[in-house]
Structure 1
Amino acid sequence: MAYNLSTLKLKIMLPKSLYFVLVLFCLGCDDQLDKEPDFISENTVFEDEGLTNSYVADLYLNMNFQEIGGFGNVGIGLFAAAGAEHINFANWQYPNLSYSRQYTEVTGPGNLDRWPYFNIRNMNILLRDLPNSVSLEEDFIRTTMAEVRFLRAYEYFEMVKRYGGVPLITTVQDQDDSDEVLFPSRATEKEIYDFIYNELAEILPDLSEVKTGANGRVDRFTALMLQSRAMLYAASIANFGEEQINGIVGVPSASAQDYYKKSYDASKEVIDSQLFQLIDEGDDKAANFASIFLNEGTGNNEIIFAERFEPFIKGHSLDWLANPDGLGLEWNSNFPVLYDFVENFDFIDGRTGSSISREDLTLENEWDVTDFFGNRDPRFVASVFYPETTWKGQKIYFHSSSLVNGEVVNGTGTILTKQNGEEIPATAAARNVRNTALLLRKRLDPTNIATQSENSGQDFYVFRYAETLLNLAEAAYYLGNSGEALTMVNMVRERAGMPLRSEITEDFIRQERQVELAFEEHRFWDLIRWRVATEVLGNVRTKGLVFRYNLDTDMYNITLKNAEGDIRQFGEERYYLPFSQERLAENPNLVQNPGY
């Protein structure tokens, strides 16, 4: 907490990543090891390039660009669950609480919270003290400060999209400061977005034009992408939202066009650099799309900025959690995909994703699973496990029972033989059947045996080139340039192997964004900034599927079931999260958000 006096120190607490550096630094200096073992003076840190880099590395480490918290990293599913893309396997896993809990001043923001003022304080310390260094090169100081100013702007973006205006703290608070400094009031939402834009504009000349973002280090194009995304959010809120409590939440509608233009310009600069491209290799569009998330580093020209992961060093548990049941893994099937979201994926022959009427999903009708699923958008095929998906050399099944000569047969141990000689279980593995009978596939590594947690190393792409094109398309559309918006959307669709659009609409732009960026922590925030979350996420009972396999016809009966125990609620107040009573008590000048 920025204004909690217990965090105000005159010396820097040693970041974890600095301990290893100091061990190397102090080898042979035994007589010095008994001096201040838990603290290190900023005067020492910011006179040594290695220590300064370690300090910055610790700031990166605390950014948490991807949510991976909770037991075994179950928090990977947080924003997909909140945005009704997939849920988590069990309700004890906190991502499911993101939509099932109440949001009040008493309950607070829950796990959707982000209040990183401790990290911002450490950034402010560097930004205050590094310019005073007498040992470090001027170029190093300038680029390091630009990098840290980006990280600080990103933290403010994460807060503004949750809370609207927040206290804007850009200096180091000390315990002797006045109450006005220690307990700052909330800036307006517009002031926070303007701060983000101006910070990024000022640091652009100091950031490298050599691509380093794919390796997890901020460069010029990373900063441009934050401008592109943040200004698009500000424009949307100005366009579709309303100002309340004197602008602390909401953005003036008159600002919408200016913010769209700022987003457009930032996206255009990234595109015009010609340093990035949509990966499009081979005729198998689904395989190509899947490869984007496994071919990491600077050789992948679609990546603009990534959070780097390495198994067991800084690993995560995606493969351990998400692989389907039946592969002999200790944990599996943790992210069931909602059928409501599947309906966003159109078919390659031009049919809409919702062209299959829900009323036709009965035990009287049979479906060819290849047509029902396999002929959808290749991005769906690459992103979701469905019946008879091939994975790690075997087929994955999701049926609860089978029909043989008109009789229902159950049992995972009962093996049936198809007419072509292929064997199939009468009932699929238990965890595949439970919940929605569809599972997350996107970003999974088929070469990872995933025998334990934190042994996955797939990077998280914070910004990738497809988003750049979609950001520009959306901004161009609202600026009145429908032709350019259509071109950008069709570039993304062509790479995916989908029929090109002949016209562009608001709905087409939004649909394209949801299917291209599915499960990448976009949809929840997009629904909020478009102010449609009350419609999409409110008063809805999301659905899963039940499959029954017919051995005689080699087809499936498909029916609907409730995927969640309760009806989802998302009231108008939820466009901003509530502050908890504890947070309000810590700062008497912190005004609560409307509706709480």
Structure 2
Amino acid sequence: MKLKITILLALTVLLNCSCSDFLDLEPKNKVTADRLFSDPKGVQAYMANLYYQLPIEDFTFDQDKGFNYNYNGAQNFGINPSVYTDEAVSSEYWMFIGWDINMYQWWNGGYKLNRDVNVLEAAIPTLDITDVEKKSLIGECAFIKAYNYFALVRRYGGVPLVKELQEYEGDVEILKVPRSTEKESWDYVLELFDKAIENLPQSWSDNQRRATVWAAYAYKSRAALHAASIAKYWNEYPFSGEAVDKGYVGGMTADDANRYYEACIKASEALMNDSPYSLHKPNPANPEEAARNYQEIFEDPSTAPEEVIFAKGYAQPGAERGHSTDFWNNPNQTANGASYPGRTNPTLDLADLYENYDNPGHSAPIVTTEDGDLSDVSGYNPARKYLHFDNPMDIFKGKDARLFGTLIVPSSQWKNTTIIIQGGMIKPDGSYVTETEDSYTMPNGKKYYTFGASVRSEYSGFENHPNMTRTGFLRKKFLNEKSDVAPRFFESTTSYIDIRYAEILLNYAEAVVESNYSANGAQTRAAEAINALRKRAGHTKDIPLTLDNVLRERRVELAFENRRHWDLMRRREYQKEFNGRERLALMPVIDLRGEKPQYIFVRKLISRDGMKFFEPKAYYVWIPGTETTGITQNPLY
């Protein structure tokens, strides 16, 4: 092959292996394909680079700047996809989905990765390796292409399908591939996953983090569910124009939806019936144990190999090999010297979803007043009778264990520290102070403060400072509680779980209930699937299989795993959920009027957040370069 392959020399560091023998050429940043692929280490390095390019929305993903993003060491400034949904807000920034046409872009990166895979695919027949090794390489290439095209299609709808390596021979027009329809594009994604399933091994030696047949089934489950939802709900927001007329966006039928739902069901069943995967610690002794078990999955995914199907690891702290999740998201009190903690603030909207154990199958919004009215979110009202608590933790008694495995709530313990989150004070004379620094000294000499402590380092909420939560909650999932992470960028090494067995059960249940599929006892199995998740969370009573139950379970089980954005997209619910919506906070307030100080809670709008409107054009991302490629642009751009 005369083709030149550009290889980043930094890859040798990234891979932590010696590749100097095949990269020791002039110029230093290029190597011929013949030379590269003639050495097993060259193939290994090339494949590792393909995995590195996978569009995984992990800790280093930036919605505006892309994947594996690093800007002057800051990575994504603590912004993650949850802040564009009802799961969380950023303590510092106020942007929302659709504000920038560059958000969620992957066109150029996607077609670069596709070409890189096509290069290796074209070379496989010539490689001096065994047929078994060639088969595995074919499977890995199909897997990476499928993952990549899944990322493209869910962003752009129908896309050009460049299935083989293209060579430039003087006429650029021959290289132009038109858009396929959205239906054809989804079919191609599933076809690629099928090819991966046919060729990938069930496991790799030495537990290498490479795609397996089970990973291919898992992502086929996810992709097929996404395709089915688009086919069923695409017209919930009726687009018009050339892209619609030609089927590049939407245009699918109920039959298409059911076909995709069945593909999701079959892929999920393959994992449920035959794979080595299962739920991590599915039978806790009590809710406290359930919360610890759930937390440890994300704190150290290596402790849950039976559940984690595909994860992205980080080599070691520093040198841009790690990530900065702990740096950005620890509470202010446990920042360990980090300059920018507390950036992800979970909403009351999310906390309200979690059930109480004594009323299974129903969300239990957090009640703060004697009348139980949840509608008044205007702030403290002295005319209302608030419930009083000796300890802020008391308001969360009886809540689903996943709440405590996902969120840091006021006065909970984190790193052997009581996390103080408080935003107001009612003085003995009834005067009310909120989100403003103040203090009051009681007759016994004890002093109380608006924010719960006298100095900033001793509290974690509601002061007008980006290190403080402005919702009453902080994110726990994926943070490291057991050890202090150095207060620098790139010091976290917690693996990012991209897909796990719990999602497969949820995909299966949703596909079954949406399509009313009943073969092979699917309705019963789907109910068992969601109740298995609930049992793992400490529930003892089963709930029936309904769409509402499945979707609620999905939200609480997968919170902060970057699924909510895509669930709103595929089900076409964004414009319904965010049409002037204002997200909510839960603010603890110390009340000094009684015989002893107690806490009340105020349900309120999040300060400095404002109304949020989803721009429906964001259902399909803007396609760059249409002026020169002649590709039809997506609607509303």
Question: What TM-score, normalized by structure 2, do the two folds share?
Answer: 0.82
Does the Cα contact within 8 Å between 1:80 and 1:87 map onto a contact in 2?
Answer: yes
1:425 shift after superposition: 2.2
For the pair 1:172 / 2:165, whether they are aligned, the reply is: yes
2:419 paired residue number: 396
1:203 shift after superposition: 2.6
1:338 equivalent among 333, 336, 347: 347
For the pair 1:375 / 2:382, whether they are aligned, the reply is: no
2:610 paired residue number: 566
For the pair 1:529 / 2:570, whether they are aligned, the reply is: yes
Does the Cα contact within 8 Å between 1:296 and 1:459 map onto a contact in 2?
Answer: yes
1:366 equivalent among 387, 412, 420: 387
For the pair 1:520 / 2:522, whether they are aligned, the reply is: no
Alignment CA distance shift 1:506-1:591 (3 Å):
same
1:247 paired residue number: 247
2:198 equivalent among 199, 205, 208: 205
Alignment CA distance shift 1:237-1:359 (3 Å):
closer
Alignment of 1:12-411 (within 5 A): 12-16=5-9, 18-19=11-12, 24=18, 26=20, 33=24, 35-67=26-58, 68=60, 69=69, 71=71, 72-74=74-76, 77-91=79-93, 96-99=94-97, 102=99, 108-111=101-104, 113=106, 115=108, 116-133=110-127, 135-176=128-169, 178-210=171-203, 215-242=208-235, 244-250=244-250, 251-280=252-281, 281=284, 283=286, 284-297=289-302, 300-310=305-315, 311-312=317-318, 314-327=321-334, 328-330=336-338, 331-350=340-359, 352-354=363-365, 356=367, 357-359=373-375, 362-363=380-381, 364=384, 365-368=386-389, 369-403=392-426, 405-406=428-429
Find the residue that maps to 1:326 and give its secondary structure.
helix
For the pair 1:436 / 2:452, whether they are aligned, the reply is: no
1:132 shift after superposition: 1.6
C-alpha distance in structure 1 between counterparts of 2:501 and 2:479, whole Å: 20
C-alpha distance in structure 1 between counterparts of 2:353 and 2:405, whole Å: 15
Greater mean deviation of Cα atoms: 188-197 or 172-181: 172-181
Greater mean deviation of Cα atoms: 553-562 or 224-233: 553-562
Find the residue that maps to 2:612 and give its secondary structure.
coil
Alignment CA distance shift 1:23-1:417 (3 Å):
farther
Alignment CA distance shift 1:180-1:367 (3 Å):
farther
1:18 shift after superposition: 4.8
Amino acid at match of 2:54: M
Greater mean deviation of Cα atoms: 339-348 or 516-525: 339-348
Alignment CA distance shift 1:579-1:415 (3 Å):
farther
For the pair 1:593 / 2:634, whether they are aligned, the reply is: yes
C-alpha distance in structure 1 between counterparts of 2:155 and 2:483, whole Å: 35
Alignment of 1:470-481 (within 5 A): 470-480=506-516, 481=518
1:574 shift after superposition: 2.7
1:211 shift after superposition: 6.4
For the pair 1:463 / 2:484, whether they are aligned, the reply is: no
Does the Cα contact within 8 Å between 1:542 and 1:563 map onto a contact in 2?
Answer: no
2:65 paired residue number: none
C-alpha distance in structure 2 between counterparts of 1:213 and 1:170, whole Å: 32
1:449 paired residue number: 484
1:348 shift after superposition: 2.2
Alignment CA distance shift 1:76-1:237 (3 Å):
farther
1:402 shift after superposition: 3.3
1:15 shift after superposition: 3.2
Find the residue that maps to 1:291 and give its secondary structure.
helix
C-alpha distance in structure 2 between counterparts of 1:572 and 1:188, whole Å: 20
Amino acid at match of 1:425: A
Alignment CA distance shift 1:458-1:23 (3 Å):
closer
Alignment CA distance shift 1:452-1:178 (3 Å):
same
Find the residue that maps to 1:277 and give its secondary structure.
coil
Amino acid at match of 1:346: E
1:6 paired residue number: none
1:433 shift after superposition: 4.7
Find the residue that maps to 1:238 and give its secondary structure.
helix
Greater mean deviation of Cα atoms: 291-300 or 448-457: 291-300
State the Cα deviation string for residues 425-471 of structure 1 (Å, max 9, x = none): 26834456552232111111013423111111111111101001111
Alignment CA distance shift 1:522-1:419 (3 Å):
farther
Alignment CA distance shift 1:502-1:562 (3 Å):
closer
Find the residue that maps to 1:425 and give its secondary structure.
coil
Amino acid at match of 2:536: R
1:488 equivalent among 521, 529, 543: 529
1:145 shift after superposition: 2.2
C-alpha distance in structure 1 between counterparts of 2:217 and 2:205, whole Å: 14
1:540 equivalent among 577, 581, 584: 581
C-alpha distance in structure 1 between counterparts of 2:205 and 2:70, whole Å: 30
1:252 shift after superposition: 2.9
C-alpha distance in structure 2 between counterparts of 1:374 and 1:539, whole Å: 32
Find the residue that maps to 1:435 and give its secondary structure.
coil
Does the Cα contact within 8 Å between 2:291 and 2:537 map onto a contact in 1?
Answer: yes
Query: Runs of 5+ in structure 1 lacking a partner?
Result: 1-8
Amino acid at match of 2:509: A
C-alpha distance in structure 2 between counterparts of 1:220 and 1:576, whole Å: 30
1:5 paired residue number: none
Alignment CA distance shift 1:587-1:370 (3 Å):
same
1:33 shift after superposition: 4.8
1:19 shift after superposition: 4.2
Find the residue that maps to 1:388 and give its secondary structure.
coil
Alignment CA distance shift 1:448-1:74 (3 Å):
farther
1:192 shift after superposition: 1.4
Does the Cα contact within 8 Å between 2:588 and 2:599 map onto a contact in 1?
Answer: no
Alignment CA distance shift 1:196-1:76 (3 Å):
farther
1:556 equivalent among 600, 610, 614: 600
C-alpha distance in structure 2 between counterparts of 1:502 and 1:55, whole Å: 49
State the Cα deviation string for residues 30-67 of structure 1 (Å, max 9, x = none): xx956332211111121221110110101111214134
Does the Cα contact within 8 Å between 1:349 and 1:499 map onto a contact in 2?
Answer: no
Does the Cα contact within 8 Å between 1:17 and 1:57 map onto a contact in 2?
Answer: no
1:4 paired residue number: none
Does the Cα contact within 8 Å between 1:282 and 1:288 map onto a contact in 2?
Answer: no
Find the residue that maps to 2:580 and give its secondary structure.
coil
The percentage of counterpart residues that share the same residue type is 24
C-alpha distance in structure 1 between counterparts of 2:53 and 2:443, whole Å: 53
C-alpha distance in structure 2 between counterparts of 1:307 and 1:19, whole Å: 18
C-alpha distance in structure 1 between counterparts of 2:229 and 2:205, whole Å: 30
C-alpha distance in structure 2 between counterparts of 1:188 and 1:377, whole Å: 43
Question: What TM-score, normalized by structure 1, do the two folds share?
Answer: 0.88
RMSD: 3.1
Amino acid at match of 1:126: L
C-alpha distance in structure 2 between counterparts of 1:70 and 1:459, whole Å: 18
C-alpha distance in structure 1 between counterparts of 2:285 and 2:10, whole Å: 42
1:517 shift after superposition: 0.3
Amino acid at match of 1:132: T
Does the Cα contact within 8 Å between 2:309 and 2:499 map onto a contact in 1?
Answer: yes
1:17 shift after superposition: 5.2
Amino acid at match of 1:341: L
